[in-house]
Structure 1
Amino acid sequence: MTDHNAELDVALERVVEAARAHLAAVKAAAGRIDDDDVWQAYVHLNNTSYAYDEKLLDAFGEVTPWDVESIDPDEADKRFAQVTGSADGAGADPYPQVVSVRQRRDYRVPSVAALLQVAETARRSSVPEDEDAGPVESVGEAVLELLQAGDGSLSSLDVPELEPLDGLLTVTEVTEPLNLEAFDDADGSGPFSPVDGDLLVGRLDEHPFLPDEDEHDHSGHDHSGHNH
């Protein structure tokens, strides 16, 4: 029993030391997310607690309130590195590319007058009452007004005044992120054009669902991915 007592005393002291080290790491991190020192101290505290609990069970058939399982430090390091990378941001991530999502959706305009009217309503709601909002004079201007009112979301175009046609969404791996300064303001195609090194991951073909179509024969979205 003496040997058990001595082993328990040592195991408990390791728990106390690990708890102090963990607290010191937490204080030093000062709220920093995914801090490596905090993670290492956490794993050590977990494992010393588990070891003490096991020794207490073997010696006296008693357990602690700590419901923990042993953590493999090597496996824990690998998982932590995959999530956080190294301090300089590069880490061990083998896949540092940028992903570009590009979307096109076409619409038919059943009534130009109706579209201009709903766009003018959206414009008036975005300017002070004592200011003249001015008329919306074209279909393109009307669509832009609706998009601006909806913070750029395509869902802002889900209005009766626009009839959705086919659309397309692509996901592409690119080596460089978009640089808007490299394109003239009047260039509407350049920012969407692929360049050497871009890799198409897949595309989603969008077909509009019309209420009078057979629901069992048509779906709202046709996913046709060309994956590598």
Structure 2
Amino acid sequence: MNILGLFWEWFSDSANWQGTDGIPTRLLEHVWYSGLSLLIAAAIGLPLGLLTGHTGRGGFVAASLANFARALPTLGIVILVVLIYGVGLGPVLTALIALAVPPVLVNTYEGIRNVDADIKDAARGMGMTGPEVLFKVEIPAAMPLILLGLRTAAIQIVATATVAAYVSLGGLGRYIFDGFQRQDYKAVVGGSVLVVLLAVIVAGIFLALRRLLVPAGVRQSGRVA
């Protein structure tokens, strides 16, 4: 039987929609881990990227540290933190945040840094203060790259949040890990396809946000990522 057939057989089984191991419960857990991780990563990466990009100070160091963090193995971080602090949501969030901060920080920094200097000079010539230049000129112009960083981080988090199941938490990864242990390959396929579909939905949400948040002039200039 092909992959789609296995998925539909598993997905259409009413037993998989009930109880604490049902699809709605596991999906909500996955979205919760992913959303919380993205929110914390954005709270870290966006301010750092805006500050370093706007001032031009510390950007190389921040980008270098972010790229170093990007190279760290997510599962390795989870296992290390579990060994130190024990099983819980903390190790999973730590790993996912470490994965998500680099694209948010680097794209925000590059977006602000690459705003046309003539535009910024003109804004200052009109009497705008530093914060006004940042929020009224630089951020709107850099919004395509900022959203690209957030979108990349969100998709990576959704795909990687399956590691929550490795340390006995929930989420869609439970179907994958438990399915392998039970040799229930329909569950493995079902969980995997749901993760892919969730990532596609997240990508679609960010495409919609791009149309809402990126100024029309920037979109028409062809600079949208």
TM-score by length of 2: 0.28
**Structure ID, larger Rg:** 1
In the superposition, the TM-score normalised over structure 1's length comes to: 0.28
Q: Which has the higher helix share?
A: 2
Q: Which structure is higher in strand share? A: 1
Greater relative CO (CA pairs within 8 A, separation 6+): 2
